[in-house]
Amino acid sequence: MVELRRECLWEHVTPGQAPPMALASTVKVDVCVIGGGITGLSAALNLLENGKSVAVLEAHKVGHGGSGRNVGLVNAGTWIKPDDVEATLGSKAGGRLNQVLGEAPAQVFATIDRLGIDCQARNDGTLHMAHNASGVADLQSRHDQWKRRGADVELLTGSKCQEYCGTDKISAALLDRRAGTINPMGYTTGLTEAVRRLGGRLFQNSPVIHLEKQGAAWLVKTAKGVVVADKVVISTGAYTEGDWSELQKNYFRGYYYQVASTPLVGTEADNVLRHGQGSWDTRLVLSSIRRDADGRLLLGSMGRTDNKPAWFIKSWADRIQTHYFPQLGKIEWEMHWTGCIDFTPDHLMRLFEPAPGVVAVTGYNGRGNTTGTVVGKALADYLIDDLPDNLPIPFSTMKPIHSAGLRSAFYEGGFSLYHAGQCLRVIL
């Protein structure tokens, strides 16, 4: 029997990086990027390619946060429907955001190709799977709204739906051919290597403890060093730490866990998501389902497993697997891990300019692979050309979310109860 261990699959399968180096001196650059995830690395890459000197400060190791621990879906658009985006932001700003994020997967895959990043990239689309009649109606609406905007999407039903999903428990699935899958740690590592090749200074295990303006420069202080920079990008997302930034008051933290099986072989296994799409269902507390390049089955859901016993994790994974893919029989679960998501009440991100020369972003709501790639580049462009109209959305004023900690705890408690019900076969 395989022992279920607490380890992130993506870190397990991604070749090791160069030994991390912490900031231990004073460094002067044009721009300091705080946060070594996809957003920060994308910003650094674009700045370096435009002739700027850059230092990146990462509190832990590159990929420690959501950039290395997520499902690996390269999604188009936001979590909410495009019509809802425009209703919330207005037709002009919402339309621009829909366009930018609708085209975001193409930018991710183009970046991977251009830089030669080895990250199991597959541009075969994603599947949003309807688990009941209301789910079918939701997907029909999403299909129609994206079709009006010219997106390459198709609502699969009948035998074609079953062929693509590999289960008869799904009656319809929205295939978005713009999208795809990656190994997110591999992608993040590839961006890191590109930043280093271009001369970017990368410091890991270097959490920021203070940010202040001194004359015309910004001082970004860590425990053992200082970065002196003309401008600053804050891209720490759900992993923002310390009281030096107000950013963490503008989102509430959520958790997402994943469980990976041992590699599966055989005809029955090959028929699960046989065309290579990653997927998730329409349940309120969703389940994500995908395969990796070695044939593992990866299941995920809202909540955390780092505070739960192995029997609970296995019971939940067995329940989801036997519901959707009973033909696989008993399978072994190899590893599990948990990551954080920065949520906003309306499920839309926020861009901030808290002071001249400082830009920040939060609220990806679980869409960081694509959103981080395009937003990082956009923030870099803004620092270079100072044209706010070229940003995906206008800057917002920081408005702390009331009782963010209580909201996070409330959701986590609800997710745990729901998953307990799944383990006990009371609900699915």
- Domain harbouring 410, CATH code: 3.50.50.60
Residue 257 belongs to some domain of the structure: yes
| Alpha carbon distance 151, 162 (integer Å) | 23
CA distance 202 to 267: 45
Question: In the predicted model, is pLDDT for residue 298 greater than 80?
Answer: yes
Identify each DSSP E strand in 44-203 by its residue range. 54-57, 73-74, 126-130, 153-157, 172-176, 180-181, 201-203
Tell me whether residue 309 is in a domain: yes
pTM over 0.75: yes
Give percent above pLDDT 70 in the chain: 100
Model confidence at 406: pLDDT above 90: yes
Nearest to 45 by CA among 112, 118, 119, 104: 112
Residue 149: how many CB atoms within 10 A of its CB?
14
Residue 145 domain-assigned (yes or no): yes
Q: Note whether residue 402 is domain-resident.
A: yes
Question: At a CB cut-off of 8 Å and minimum separation 6, what does 415 contact?
Answer: 255, 285, 301, 302, 303
Decide if 11 is inside a domain: yes
- Given a cut of 90, whether residue 425 has pLDDT beyond it is no
Q: What is the mean pLDDT of the chain?
A: 96
Residue 428, domain member (yes or no) = no
CA distances from 312 to 4, 79, 285 (A): 11, 28, 17
Q: Is the pLDDT of residue 428 over 80?
A: yes
Beta-strand runs (E) in 90-186: 126-130, 153-157, 172-176, 180-181
Q: To the nearest whole percent, how much of the chain has pLDDT over 90?
A: 95
Cβ neighbours, 10 Å, residue 15: 8
Tally the domains of the chain. Answer: 1
- Closest to 375 (Cα-Cα) out of 149, 363, 220, 63: 363
Reduced 3-state DSSP string for 213-238:
EECCEEEEECCCCEEEEEEEEECCHH
pLDDT bin (cut points 50, 70, 90) of residue 347 is very high
| Distance set, CA 409 to CA 183, 188, 221 (Å) | 29, 29, 31
Tokens, residue 408: 């996070």
Residue 226 forms part of a structural domain: yes
- The pLDDT confidence band at residue 426, using thresholds 50, 70 and 90, is confident
Range of the domain at 196: 5-423
Q: For residue 1, is pLDDT > 80?
A: no
